Chain A
Amino acid sequence: MTFTTSLRHPDEADSALGTWFKTYAPWLLLFSLVGLLYGIAEYIPWAFKYPREWVIPLRFWISDAVKWLYNDATFGLFTFKEFTRGVSWVLEWPLTLAKSLLSTGFLQGQGSDAVVVWPRLAWVALTACAVVVALAVADIGLALLVAACFLYLAVFGQWESAMVTSSSIVIAVPLGVAGGLALGIAAHRHPIFEKILTPVLDLMQTVPVFAYLVPILVLFGFNPVAAMIATIIYAMPPMVRNTMLALHRVPAEIVDFGHMAGCSKRQMLWKVMVPSARGGLMVGVNQVIMLSLNMVIIASMIGAGGLGRDVLTALRRLNFGAGLEASIAITLIAIALDRVSHAFAHKPPPVHGKNARIFLGSNPYLSIALLTIAGTWALGPVLPAIQTYPENWQVTTGPMVNDLMQWLNVNFFDTIEAVKSWLLINAMIPFKRFLLSLPWIALVAVVALSGYRLGGAKLAVLVSCLVTFIAVTGQWPKAMVTLYLVGISVFIASIIGIPIGIWSARHERADRVVKVIIDTLQTLPAFAYLMPVVMLFRVGDFSAMLAVIAYSLAPAIRYSNLGIRQIDPALIEAATAAGCNRRQLLWKVQLPLALPEIMLGVNQTIMLALSMLVITALVGTRDLGQEVYIALTKADIGRGLVAGICVAFIAMTADRLISPWSVRRKKLLGLE
């Protein structure tokens, strides 16, 4: 009698098949059902195309509600209209002050009769102040960068517009920070408020900006104050989130200490919590600044002047020369402010003996700044060049850029056109047709099943409701066009970005270069991508796709890089010791472990792609973004909001499906 010891349990073959069946059977069933759907298509046309009669007229309800709010609503003491006017009136004060200081000078009198009583800050003085701040928070390198940015504004004739833009930013940022801080603190103190606030923030960060420009336009009118309100609303959510997160992350022991020291509620907040959370809060401040700059061009659609309006006008007239210079100006301001606030946020921890305070007490930086301001005011009347950069010293590249465009068009038009047409005919259009031909009910079912497998019944109900909402409000075909553009852009961004991320994580030197590039990519305002793309490829889906890819590339790279890097070095050593070569190391160890993080990157890429896609409506896409944009030009609140919410729901569906998968996978791999 011989003993054959089988490594396999006799039941195992069956059970393996069983697991396989359990995993895939629902999908097989679903796809055969969808097949069946096609078979009986002519009997159930409603499953393919959502019938018009079934559409819920939500957009009209919203429009009517806002109309009532604006015309008839009253809070007893005052009406809603008076309320919005009050808000405008209050916000107009600081804005006028900032504008006087930076742009117009302090005026007396009205309109064209106004006389300058006290001049604005001279360009020399402002540049000097900016350089001094850069020196104070960082080093000479940053100071030079800041100086170069300001010089660009002066030399290329962007100063006037830049100051109009800056005066709005200067007021919007502190208000956004203060508001975000207050909401974040309230949410930290009252868990119920946090529960209410979180979904609101989710929605605010995924609804395209255009969508809430419309109600602001209707309620506050077409003027700089309305534009500033839009900027604040847009820039505030990350501050709220960062505040909540930063306060939450204050070590429990420090909180305990605060209690044991006998802090009152107020002392606890301002003397213990906020200083301990400083790092996280400063990240929020940085994001508020960046988002405010991102809004510059968009806000000009409801009345902000300055650089934003210059770019928008140029874009509408296809006058690239003028537009490019203004775009670069916005970009440079963004880079300078980002670097300065970033340096401030990441200032090395204080060292004893060095003065930790920057803006207080007797310190050389402040004195230099004050002296320059006083000096320029004194010398201004004598030497006007100090006060205002002389026009005849200005340089413009406008005509040059336009010539270059012409040259490119003459010489490369055919090549570019050929590439573009080939991609459109062979990839983009077929994909679009496929999505449009899909029965909506099948897509809802796929999303619901994915939700069920990833997060149970609750998630399944949530995501299928989100998707069904799109069909029910009659936005399905436009949503499919959005999905097609986002899908194809995210796909391309991923196949470019993920390998770059992985490659750079494995090569030190490449990593440093890539890091600088994606840092810069992430500081560029969304519109900056639009200009060159349209210059080269004209309007249409292809240009939109390129802009979306460029804008959404950064997170794909960043997260893949992070995913590979944060793998425990001990694991790599173990794999190397086991004799893995580099390829095996990548495919068998690094990639599987990094996958959850990479998928989070894809998730972020989708979010950015959606937000960019709405902006590309300006260059003529035919999707939900276009719907919102049209609503803006017609001041149709319902139309804009419904389409905007649909975009948000697409983003949320993707997020709710990918994030839990990633979290679960990480737990499974023991990474958290």
Chain B
Amino acid sequence: MDIRDSAPKKVKLSCSNLWKLFGQGADRFLSTNKNPSHQAVVDAGLIGAVRGVNIEIHEGEIFIIMGLSGSGKSTVVRCLSRLIEPTCGEILFDGSNLLEASAKELIEIRRHKMGMVFQHFALLPHLTVLGNVAFPLEIQGVDRKTREQRAIEIIELVGLEGREAYYPRELSGGQQQRVGIARSLAVEPDIWFLDEPFSALDPLIRREMQDEFLRLQSVLKKSIAFITHDFDEAIRLADRMAIMKDGEVIQVGTPEDLVMRPATEYVAEFTKDVPRAKVLTVMSIVHDAREGHAYDNFVLATDKIDAVAERVLDAKHGFGVQDESGRIIGEVNQEDVTRILIGRG
């Protein structure tokens, strides 16, 4: 049971039965073969980049699509933003069918409701930081003064103040990606696509950028589709995540779901070395509260065990567990915490 599933969430962007096959005669093949297997697609001489994918991205959540290279995760996101035209399927954005949008409508949707961050930053080399961040607004026809003012605000938000006049080449990778992030946020998008945004960065910078990303999200509360091939990054950032292989989604769930209940061997292979304490919440080891016992200390049910372990283990008495409204729902004991910490999930 997961506390976050209890409240019904509004769906921002979803796709159902999404297919993208590359190769000649893909349309014909798919209209005659409903739901072909991986092998059938290969035998037809086609490449099955996305096969029958169903995904829902809720409002305000970080939804991560994780998969190794060639698993089709990039293609999924490019289909969701219609950078690539899917072979078939349905995409609902705010309840309306995105695939029916005309070229003109699509331009309007992208101008005002979508933002995207790219793996290799995709900054325009001839524009300064300011020019790059203001670019999406310039495309909309916003006047210079307004757009530059807005750009300066966002540059500040991502911590690049003072670098407005620099050119992309003069910045480090991490700084360039901050520009990329600022640029994608300039239009205040409803849905935010991030395509392996930190993969091209050094491990230390990557970590820093992940923290920065979480900080931004805690302020902005965007609906996010985030792609990565890095499982650790995925469980660190995800509210929910999907694992892809050979164009199919194998499992969708919270990181906790995936670790505790892997759907296939393949998922289990990924999750087996993940430190349980970093994924599991207090909720997963909560016991019923002792009748009439007064607790001195409390932890939240949604806290990660890793985050509260030290406090719990140092304490002399048991900890009470509260839900978000402050209601006491049980207690945790030190044995359970220790068990999780040493990895006996």
Contact = CB atoms under 8 A, between A and B. Distances in A.
A272 B124 contact: yes
B21 to A, nearest CB: 20
A423 interface: no
A256 B126 contact: no
B167 A349 contact: yes
B80 to A, nearest CB: 11
Interface stretch (A262-270, A379-387, A502-510, A615-623): A262-270
Interface in B80-123: 81, 83, 107-112, 114-116, 118-122
Interface in B142-179: 165-167, 169-170
B139 interface: yes
A261 B136 contact: yes
Contacts of A582: none
Contact of B128 (A256, A263, A272, A352): A352
Contacts of B166: 352
4 closest A-B pairs by CB? A262-B111, A253-B122, A262-B110, A352-B165
Contacts of A278: 126
Given A256-B78, A257-B116, A352-B166, A264 B122 contact: no
B331 to A, nearest CB: 49
A256 B139 contact: no
In the complex, which of the residues A251, A261, A262, A263 has the most CB atoms of chain B within 10 Å of its own CB atom?
A261
Interface of B: 78, 81, 83, 107-112, 114-116, 118-122, 124-128, 135-136, 138-140, 165-167, 169-170, 193
Contacts of A429: none
A262 B136 contact: yes
B105 to A, nearest CB: 11
A419 interface: no
A259 B122 contact: no
A262 B113 CA distance: 10
Contacts of B108: 262
Contacts of A260: 81, 83, 110, 114-116, 193
Contacts of B112: 262
Contacts of B140: 262
23 contacts: A251-B122, A253-B119, A254-B124, A256-B118, A256-B122, A257-B122, A259-B110, A260-B81, A260-B110, A260-B115, A260-B116, A260-B193, A261-B111, A261-B135, A261-B136, A262-B107, A262-B108, A263-B107, A271-B138, A272-B124, A275-B125, A349-B125, A349-B169
Contacts of A351: 167, 170
B139 A271 contact: yes
A350 B118 CA distance: 23
A292 B37 CA distance: 59
A264 to B, nearest CB: 6
Contacts, number: 69
Interface in A229-260: 251, 253-254, 256-257, 259-260
Contacts of B109: 262
Given A257-B118, A260-B83, A261-B136, A350 B110 contact: no
Interface-centre pick from A262, A275, A349 (highest chain B CB count, 10 A): A262
A264 B116 contact: no
A631 to B, nearest CB: 47
Judged by DSSP, the binding face of B is mixed
Contacts of B111: 261-262
Nearest to B184: A260
Contacts of B126: 275-276, 278, 350
A361 interface: no
A256 B116 contact: yes
A353 interface: yes
Interface in A339-353: 349-353
Nearest to A263: B139
A306 to B, nearest CB: 37
A353 B170 CA distance: 12
Given A257-B116, A353-B165, A264 B125 contact: no
A260 B108 CA distance: 10
B91 to A, nearest CB: 15
A349 B193 CA distance: 30
Contact of B83 (A256, A276, A353): A256
Given A257-B116, A350-B126, 11 more contacts: A253-B120, A254-B122, A256-B83, A261-B136, A262-B110, A262-B111, A262-B112, A263-B139, A349-B169, A352-B166, A352-B170
Contacts of B167: 349-352
B139 A262 contact: yes
Interface string A549-572: 000000000000000000000000
Contacts of A264: 107
A275 B127 CA distance: 9
Interface in A402-438: none
B125 A261 contact: no
Contacts of A261: 110-111, 135-136, 139
